[in-house]
Structure 1
């Protein structure tokens, strides 16, 4: 029986590349002292499983389908009273969980493996991951809704003022509803496309990475160009 066991969850945003998977598979293989099992879950409930990561990543079927989730696990008895087991699952669910890990075995080796995994996952985080919580809670669910609404309301008022709308301390023109509706629809409708919590840089699944980058560039460019045009017009009219 193991003398150490731990289960934990990651709520950040990750881009899982073949190099990331190679590092994790190597860690799992070293920990259980036998080949790790990699299971890839694709669209339409298809499932592909193997112990050869290169074969899976280069499989034409895997490349042609979108990856929904992925799991790396293994178990091995290393002695009469010692079993090493580990399971690492990647899936973005409704509870905002992205990575779920269970590890058990010798205490010292388990702790070392967990630290190595944390290092690998930190290297796979998206830049905007720092804006996401390290754990889920009811408070976060509230903040994840109200904070964007407050920010969008402030940005809408700013854009309205920037383009000549009447904005004072005591009143604001009804035109503020136009940018507010557009921004709210864009945020809640496109946030999973613009800021995905989990992507796989493998075959067709990598398209989501390109699409997200494309939308982020459009949003950033649109805001910057709008501000620059406004400043130029103001200067020309002076």
Structure 2
């Protein structure tokens, strides 16, 4: 009989590749013992679905359009009182990035959930740790506070780097300029530089390249600034 139901919500950052989708589809088919339907939602409210994942990913329209979200689902009745149902939804919004819903035999459902967790863990971005879970107020608060503290420290450092007055008790008002710029840039462009969900499929993969490009510029700029400051200090000694 159907005695188990689970809804798991994840908030970290993921890059979903064709291999990741293939692995998830395999887990879904194994759990329900039936076909899995993959639905890809594209720009302009267009959607494409198919039981054949390879054919779906090879579709020229899927390759040419930007993917907004993907849903993989399957449902099969295995007996008079036993229904296996599973749904995995990839969609980045304020409340979640991935949601997994499983209903069916307890042991098989728990095994499927563990297999899915392993696949999703392998798809996480390296900066996922900075995206604190929203399951409680403290992590949610820290996910905003920590970037603000780090940006404030970086602003003070840059002010000192370019000759501004920075002491233990005070700092020049010019520190507000980089502070405002970085805060506006972080909260305004965060999802472009550190996206929470990307799809390495067709045109959608461009977002991955652009985000990596801007991250490299940001990190390179900080490193060059530190090196220049050290070099200037040595030359003036």
Counterparts of residues 15-94 of structure 1 (less than 5 Å):
15-94=15-94
Inter-partner Cα distance in structure 2 for 1:135 and 1:30: 31
Any idea what SS the aligned residue of 1:127 has? Answer: coil
Question: Runs ≥4 in structure 1, deviation > 4 angstroms?
Answer: none
TM-score, with structure 2 as normaliser: 0.96
Deviation at residue 154 of structure 1 after TM alignment:
1.6
Inter-partner Cα distance in structure 1 for 2:208 and 2:78: 40
Inter-partner Cα distance in structure 2 for 1:87 and 1:201: 21
Inter-partner Cα distance in structure 1 for 2:69 and 2:42: 7
Inter-partner Cα distance in structure 2 for 1:3 and 1:136: 26
Inter-partner Cα distance in structure 2 for 1:117 and 1:228: 44
Counterparts of residues 64-143 of structure 1 (less than 5 Å):
64-95=64-95, 97-143=96-142
Any idea what SS the aligned residue of 2:73 has? Answer: strand
Contact 2:133 2:139 survives alignment (8 Å): no
In the alignment, structure 1 segments of 5+ residues that lack a partner are none
Inter-partner Cα distance in structure 2 for 1:110 and 1:104: 7
CA RMSD of aligned residues (A): 1.2
2:230 aligns to what?
231
Deviation at residue 138 of structure 1 after TM alignment:
3.6
Inter-partner Cα distance in structure 2 for 1:161 and 1:28: 55
Deviation at residue 182 of structure 1 after TM alignment:
2.0
Contact 1:90 1:100 survives alignment (8 Å): yes
Counterparts of residues 153-232 of structure 1 (less than 5 Å):
153-232=152-231
> CA, structure 1 residues 145+130, in 2 after alignment: closer, same or farther (shift >3 Å)?
closer
Inter-partner Cα distance in structure 1 for 2:91 and 2:194: 15
1:84-132 per-position Cα deviation (integer Å, ceiling 9, x unaligned):
000000000122x000111011111111101100100000000111222
Inter-partner Cα distance in structure 1 for 2:79 and 2:226: 67
Contact 2:131 2:143 survives alignment (8 Å): no
Deviation at residue 163 of structure 1 after TM alignment:
2.4
1:14-43 per-position Cα deviation (integer Å, ceiling 9, x unaligned):
000000000000110111111100000000
2:3 aligns to what?
3
Inter-partner Cα distance in structure 1 for 2:6 and 2:200: 29
**Count of equivalent residues:** 237
Contact 1:9 1:135 survives alignment (8 Å): no
Contact 1:74 1:85 survives alignment (8 Å): yes
Any idea what SS the aligned residue of 2:72 has? Answer: strand
